[in-house]
Amino acid sequence: MFGVDWTSEIFFSSFLLIVVVLSYHFYVFSEHIGNYIHMISSANPYNAPLISVEGSIPFPTNVIKNIRLIVLLLGFGSIFYSIKTKNHGEIFLSIICILLISLGVIGNVLIFLEVGRIVAFYETLIGIFAALTLFRLRDIWLKPLNKRMAITALLCISTAGVITLTFFGGQYIPAYYFKSLGQNNYYWCENNLPDMQKYETVGEWVAEFCPSKPTILIDTTQYFMHSAIFFWGETPLDRISVFKRYPYDQNKNTFIAFNIKGNRELDKERLIEKTSRVYFNGEAVINAV
């Protein structure tokens, strides 16, 4: 229409938008970029095993997480097939997917990279190629099976089950879906679901009753206290610190916020016992130093 190549126009506009957004982040949040570059040069890579070893991850998460390799194999079927189809869209997405996989490998074995963020983009693309492989299995490679509805239905249900289990297995708190799974230190929040409404009231209490410019100490247990105090408590990030061996007697404008579900070390418990509880809502606690 009007002699315009809309594919090129869309690609150019998307590329320009990416450049503008990245430039904005590099300019405005230069400190964060500098900190991340420092982490890359100083922190160790993840060194996570490709296949989950029995005992390192609780069952059945161990089995479910290893199923993700099937999705990877299904995806690579269509990635390689795109060389034959010469479909520009598939080739472009294949290049991006392979680059993300390469970055994930580098971040796992060579240098520190936020592999979790990389995986978030990778999973979206590999899911597309895995779905394409399923369609090609039906329409091209296993075409004779089209007349056998029972076998085709069984294959579709099995592969759909694999992809679905992979999604559930990647959840950092499986109790959102599998209520019968017990607590385990492997999971986020030890697989003990927090009551998020309680965190909102914690933050609101900090904003209303804490003196100006307080120091809020939070425990390292994996709950959402940090976000609650920052957002609802309207407390700057530089006033929120991790509770370790803090010299609590040097600053009277200090509070300790923690969740009663978290398992703390004995020395932390002893420090908490020397403080006074000023707020408790059944799950979250704030003590005044």
* The 3-state secondary structure of 221-270, one letter per residue: CCCCHHHHHHHCCCCCHHHEEECCCCCHHHCCCEEEEEECCCCCCHHHHH
Selection from 97, 240, 75 nearest residue 166 by Cα: 75
Q: Are residues 42 and 164 in the same domain?
A: yes
Give the integer Cα–Cα distance in Å for 1 and 9.
13
Asked if residue 14 belongs to a domain, the reply is no
Give the integer Cα–Cα distance in Å for 255 and 146.
67
Asked if residue 140 belongs to a domain, the reply is yes
Domain limit, last residue, from 176, 209, 231: 176
Asked if residue 92 belongs to a domain, the reply is yes
What is the SS3 assignment for 278? strand
pLDDT surpasses 70 at 284: yes
Asked if residue 146 belongs to a domain, the reply is yes
Segment 92-133, tens digit of pLDDT:
888 988 998 898 888 888 888 877 778 778 878 888 888 888
Asked if residue 130 belongs to a domain, the reply is yes
Give the integer Cα–Cα distance in Å for 176 and 189.
12
Domain limit, last residue, from 148, 176, 204: 176
Give the integer Cα–Cα distance in Å for 199 and 223.
10
Q: Are residues 170 and 61 in the same domain?
A: yes
10 Å Cβ neighbour count for 130?
24
How many domains in the chain? 2
Asked if residue 86 belongs to a domain, the reply is yes
Q: Are residues 147 and 226 in the same domain?
A: no
Q: Are residues 115 and 221 in the same domain?
A: no
Asked if residue 233 belongs to a domain, the reply is yes
What is the SS3 assignment for 127? helix
Find residue 242's DSSP bridge partners: 218
Q: Are residues 102 and 209 in the same domain?
A: no
pLDDT band of residue 21 (cuts 50, 70, 90) is confident
Segment 74-93, tens digit of pLDDT:
888 888 888 888 888 888 88
Q: Are residues 170 and 202 in the same domain?
A: no
Domain limit, last residue, from 147, 176, 205: 176
Q: Are residues 105 and 210 in the same domain?
A: no
Which region among 16-20, 142-146, 217-221, 283-287 has the lowest average model confidence (pLDDT)?
142-146
Q: Are residues 151 and 226 in the same domain?
A: no
10 Å Cβ neighbour count for 220?
13
Asked if residue 6 belongs to a domain, the reply is no
pLDDT band of residue 4 (cuts 50, 70, 90) is very low
CB 213 within 8 A of CB 239: yes
Q: Are residues 157 and 201 in the same domain?
A: no
For 234, the domain range is 196-288
Give the integer Cα–Cα distance in Å for 98 and 254.
49
CB 94 within 8 A of CB 129: yes
Q: Are residues 61 and 162 in the same domain?
A: yes
Q: Are residues 55 and 117 in the same domain?
A: yes
Q: Are residues 162 and 210 in the same domain?
A: no
